[in-house]
Structures are given as structure tokens and as C-alpha cells.
Amino acid sequence: MSHENVEIARIFTRAFNAGDVEALAACCDPNVEFHSTFAAIGGAVYHGRDAARKWYGDIAGEWGEEIRSEIESLFDLGEDVLVYSVVHARGPHSGVEVDLPAAMVMKMRDRRIVRFKGYAHREDALADLGVSEDALQPIAP
């Protein structure tokens, strides 16, 4: 089952990068909970599929439609999938390009994301999960 969870994380990321909010929402449980790390949108918590759509809209509104997440590695932790990525974006007002290392934890149930949490610092994700990076086996993107 956890191999399927890793694939859902990949599909979610492809949908995010394509700006396909319907495919993104389809990866989620109807009662999904999103914890956003982006300070520009207040580090908000979003609940439900409609809120997942709003989450993406809020991010795109702050960072522009060019925002994308490049997966560096994935870690299969059973019902959790840890994703290390670099978020690439361009400030819509300043035009400044940014590359931000990030981590995401996606908790899965019944082949759907039930909880998504983004982290600006990878060590914070590891601490929340209670794991050491040395104990993890990376999976290619």
C-alpha cells in the first residue's frame, strides 16, 4: 500500500506544477487538512477539498502561476510520505526568482491525502515525524 502512497505524492506534485487544481484536489480525501508553510498566506490551515483548491489559489496569487515544486527525494514511511523538494517561483511584483528548499509530509489513508503539511526547514519535518534522516531510505523522484 505504501508504494501507492508514494505514487500519490508524485501525482499531487505533477498536478501542483501543472496548475491543475482539480487533479490536485482529486488526490485528497474530502476532509483533507492542509497546513501551509508559506508566510505570504499566513501559514494558514485549510480544511476540505474546496479549501485545497483555495490553498493552491492563495499560493499562485502570492507567487504567480510559475510556481513549481521539484522533487529531490521521497521517503516511504508507511502512511506518511516525506518529500524533499525545491520550490521554484518568481515574485509576481518584484520579478525576483527564488529557489526554496522545502519538505512536505503527506499522510495517506485509503489512497488519498488526509493531511498535508509543508515545512520551510526539513529538520522540522523530521522532528515532527520523530525520525532521523540517517534512518531514511530515499526513493528517486
Q: What is the CATH number of the domain that holds 118?
A: 3.10.450.50
- Total domains present in the chain: 1
Residue 62: inside a domain, yes or no? Answer: yes
Q: Coil, helix or strand for 60?
A: helix
Q: Identify whether 90 is part of a domain.
A: yes
Angstrom distance (rounded) from CA 5 to CA 90: 30
Closest CA to 1 of 109, 121, 119, 120: 109
Task: Flag whether 106 is in a domain.
Answer: yes
In a domain, 45, yes or no: yes
- The confidence band for 141, taking pLDDT boundaries of 50, 70 and 90, is confident
- 85-124 confidence digits (pLDDT tens): 999 988 777 888 889 899 999 999 999 999 999 998 999 9
40 band by pLDDT with thresholds 50, 70 and 90: very low
pTM of the model: 0.90
**CA-CA distance, 109 to 131, in Å (whole number)?**
20
Task: State the residue for C-alpha cell 499531487.
Answer: 12
The answer to the question of residue 130 being in a domain is: no
Range(s) of the domain holding residue 13: 2-125
How many CA atoms within 13 Å lie on the side-chain side of 94?
A: 8
